[in-house]
A and B are shown apart, each in its own frame.
Chain A
Amino acid sequence: MVSQSHATAAADPFEVSEAFLKRRRLVDLTMRCILFLAASLSILVTAGIVYVLVSEAAHFFAQVSIVDFLTDTQWTPVFQEKHFGIMTLVSGTLMTSAIALIVAVPAGTILSIYLSEFAQPQVREAIKPILELISGVPTVAFGYFALLFVTPLFQTFIPGLSGFNLLVPGIVIGIMILPFIVSVSEDAMRAVPNSLREGAYALGFTRLQTSVRVVIPGAFSGITAAYILGMSRAVGETMVVAIAAGQQAKIAVNPLEGAATITAYIVQISLGDLPHGSIAYLTIFAAGLTLFVITFLFNILAFWLRRKYREVY
């Protein structure tokens, strides 16, 4: 504007030339387009993921029937006699995720109630960063910790715990997803308006009664979203199970023994040098598609639940 008024100072100090405005409008429009393209790139990423998984999995399902894929109870893609029962890997994944949730759901709920309803603001400000630090630890470090610290420790009092097992990775994943569950559910609890709490206090409720009967029901959809997102993370967690859960693909029934999960299998196959297009190469995309579908359903459900509580308050 300053340089502008110089140019036209002779005529009218407040007049802005047409050319200048035109240029500004052009810059404005160009930037708008660039920013829009950057934002829509995220859709391209999703499209890329879906395209890769579906097209490679289609090659796989041209050779293996989908009924066998879902019902066979063995998974031996690199053996002579090949079986492709994904349920073996799914059972391992579900076992570790279930153990993780058994650890993280009660602990996460208690912690988030404690932080949102009980703790002094200063305490809360001090605790939340520490929880964030846990979520900053690389997953491969948690894997090392599970295999070479927690498993030997547990073996001293759980007889029959194998070196590779599902119990320890499950517990470690539970600790990993804990900060996440706490932050999402605490967020939901704090979104419950204070007037509801004050109403409860006026009726003589204690803080605990207010938490259990007013805040939790009020934040229910958000807390559920936290559990579902935690589950989705546990299902997709890779390095801990790849390091500490073993590589044997079998229906997981005993958490004290090792079994492969979907993610651990993908890592195991990726480490070898498989020719592009071979059936074993295609299995990792079929397994990846299964994983993507499971986590996608969880994520969408959680997104919808979180939006719901945001709309209520």
Chain B
Amino acid sequence: MTEQAIVTQEAQARALSDDEIVRKAHRSETRFALIGLTVLIVTMIVLMALIVDFAIDGMARIDRDFLTSFPSRRPGEAGILSAWVGTALVILVTAAMAVPLGVAAGLYLEEYARTNWITDLIEINVSNLAGVPSIIYGLLALGLFVQTFQLGQTIFVAGLTLALLILPIIIVATREAVRSIPLEIREAAYGLGADKWQTVSGYILPAARPGILTGAIVGMSRAIGETAPIITIGALTFIAFLPPSPIQSTFPYVNADWLNSPFTVLPIQMFNWISRPQAGFHVNAAATGLILLAMTLLMNGLAIWLRYKIRKGIR
């Protein structure tokens, strides 16, 4: 307020009319809006440059052979068959573990937890875990799963590690989805004589499903792109075979051998090709990167669209 007064005094001293003060304020407003827009546009240009760079470098390399060949010492013959199969299987394990656990934890914190020190501890803990660098999860997996429990460098261990990594994302998404459900729904359920679990499983969970789905998609997309924790486990980078098939023709028609198979995933294959000196491998890396980008951007786009639909539904 005193500064306003000073401004007015200065204006009087320089004999500025009210009009001029207003105009001056308008000018600085416009200037800031322009700066904001510039920053925004520059950010978008960078994102565009990234996508276009991958498209130019890698588009021509993607064909049927690239998707159906194993890695090779000759860049022209190498492909990503083992990598995309590995990614698909690892993500399957991750989803199967992270989604039920994350949803259960989120439901507990939002619906059941009383305000006490245990709840406080869990909350601080989840928020800290969300900020722990991914490579630390890799060291956890190396020290605990690979060395102490001797589980080996397998699809199961990779899926488990990534599940722990994305757990906070799913917990937070579940909590937000549950929190946005109107209190009346709970009251109506209790009024009909439902107990806590009947309310949660019959009314809260179905209503929160789209929000939870959004979180799960974002989490999966994060897991698909993660490289560092899987490198730390010590995943081999030259895998020229596929894990055993999860489906078989004889009883019981499914088998779990693939869980214990060595593997490679798309980001690891890409990292491996980037670190080679030959330009041919860089082209392969760009092609793999383009596929990864397409997958993660599509999944994030889907999540954003879902969230938009939810918000419209609530209004």
Contact of A130 among B44, B107, B142, B196 (CB under 8 A): B44
Bound complex: CA A205 to CA B136 (Å): 48
Closest to A34 in B: B104
Instruction: Verify if B241 is at the interface (C-beta below 8 Å from A).
Output: no
Residue interface mask A131-144, B partner, CB < 8 A = 1? 11110111111111
Pairs A-B, 6 closest by C-beta atoms: A236-B133, A138-B225, A114-B36, A52-B143, A38-B104, A136-B300
Contact of A141 among B54, B144, B222 (CB under 8 A): B54
Instruction: Verify if A90 is at the interface (C-beta below 8 Å from B).
Output: no
Stretch at the interface among B61-69, B70-78, B163-171: B163-171
Do residues B193 and A43 form an inter-chain contact, with CB atoms below 8 A? no
Residue interface mask B221-237, A partner, CB < 8 A = 1? 11011111001101000
Bound complex: CA A302 to CA B128 (Å): 9
Stretch at the interface among A21-29, A69-77, A248-256: A21-29
Instruction: Verify if A280 is at the interface (C-beta below 8 Å from B).
Output: no
Q: Which residues of chain A have C-beta atoms less than 8 A from B124's C-beta?
A: 300, 303
Bound complex: CA A55 to CA B140 (Å): 11
Instruction: Verify if B93 is at the interface (C-beta below 8 Å from A).
Output: no
Interface residue tally of chain B, by bracket? Answer: 35 or more
Instruction: Verify if B55 is at the interface (C-beta below 8 Å from A).
Output: no
Bound complex: CA A266 to CA B28 (Å): 48
Stretch at the interface among A78-86, A189-197, A216-224, A291-299: A291-299
Do residues A133 and B300 form an inter-chain contact, with CB atoms below 8 A? yes
Do residues A267 and B4 form an inter-chain contact, with CB atoms below 8 A? no
Apart from A138-B224, A303-B124: 14 A-B pairs, beta carbons within 8 A? A38-B105, A39-B105, A52-B143, A56-B143, A129-B308, A130-B47, A137-B225, A208-B28, A232-B131, A236-B133, A263-B135, A270-B138, A285-B143, A296-B128
Instruction: Verify if B246 is at the interface (C-beta below 8 Å from A).
Output: no
Do residues A45 and B167 form an inter-chain contact, with CB atoms below 8 A? yes
Instruction: Verify if A284 is at the interface (C-beta below 8 Å from B).
Output: yes
Could you tell me the distance in whole angstroms from the C-beta of B114 to the nearest C-beta in chain A?
11
Q: Which residues of chain B have C-beta atoms less than 8 A from A40's C-beta?
A: 118, 122
Stretch at the interface among B9-17, B179-187, B247-255, B266-274: B266-274
Do residues B227 and A43 form an inter-chain contact, with CB atoms below 8 A? no
Contact of A140 among B49, B104, B136, B289 (CB under 8 A): B289
Closest to A268 in B: B231
Instruction: Verify if A237 is at the interface (C-beta below 8 Å from B).
Output: yes
Bound complex: CA A137 to CA B294 (Å): 9
Q: Which residues of chain A have C-beta atoms less than 8 A from B47's C-beta?
A: 130, 133-134, 137
Do residues A263 and B105 form an inter-chain contact, with CB atoms below 8 A? no
Interface residues of B in 273-315 (CB under 8 A from A): 274-275, 282, 285-286, 289, 292-293, 296-297, 299-301, 304, 308
Main secondary structure of the interface of B (DSSP, over half): helix
Instruction: Verify if A201 is at the interface (C-beta below 8 Å from B).
Output: no
Contact of B131 among A139, A143, A299 (CB under 8 A): A299
Instruction: Verify if A31 is at the interface (C-beta below 8 Å from B).
Output: yes
Given A36-B112, A263-B228, answer yes or no on A114-B46 (Cβ-Cβ < 8 Å): no
Q: Which residues of chain B have C-beta atoms less than 8 A from A95's C-beta?
A: none
Given A35-B104, A38-B104, answer yes or no on A236-B292 (Cβ-Cβ < 8 Å): no
Residue interface mask A108-133, B partner, CB < 8 A = 1? 00110110001100000101011111
Given A39-B108, A107-B39, A118-B32, answer yes or no on A46-B129 (Cβ-Cβ < 8 Å): yes
Q: Which residues of chain A have C-beta atoms less than 8 A from B105's C-beta?
A: 35, 38-39, 41-42
Given A206-B28, A208-B32, answer yes or no on A138-B108 (Cβ-Cβ < 8 Å): no
Residue interface mask A38-60, B partner, CB < 8 A = 1? 11111101101101110110000
Q: Which residues of chain B have C-beta atoms less than 8 A from A208's C-beta?
A: 25, 28-29, 32
Bound complex: CA A144 to CA B55 (Å): 13
